Amino acid sequence: MNLKRLFGGLLTILGIIGLIYTAVIFAGTSGGTRDVKSLIIYGILGIVFFTSGISLVRTTKDES
């Protein structure tokens, strides 16, 4: 089992969770400054984790 693929899968799952949490905050927001800051922070972190995880999974080759 390749450690890079496992880590890439973990990063991808964390990114999806971050993006879903951003969507939940967005659905329940009233437009306050605190809500906008948390939307930006969780959204950016979710996108970064998701793209880096997908990139790790895609570029890592299976060696058997």
pLDDT of residue 49: 96
In a 10 Å sphere around its CB, with 0-12 CB exposed, 13-18 middle and 19+ buried, how is residue 54 labelled?
middle
Per-residue confidence in pLDDT tens, the chain, 64 aa: 688 889 999 999 999 999 999 999 888 877 777 778 888 999 999 999 999 999 998 888 877 5
Q: Kindly report the pTM of this predicted structure.
A: 0.84
Domain boundaries, the chain: 3-59
Q: What is the CA radius of gyration of the chain?
A: 15
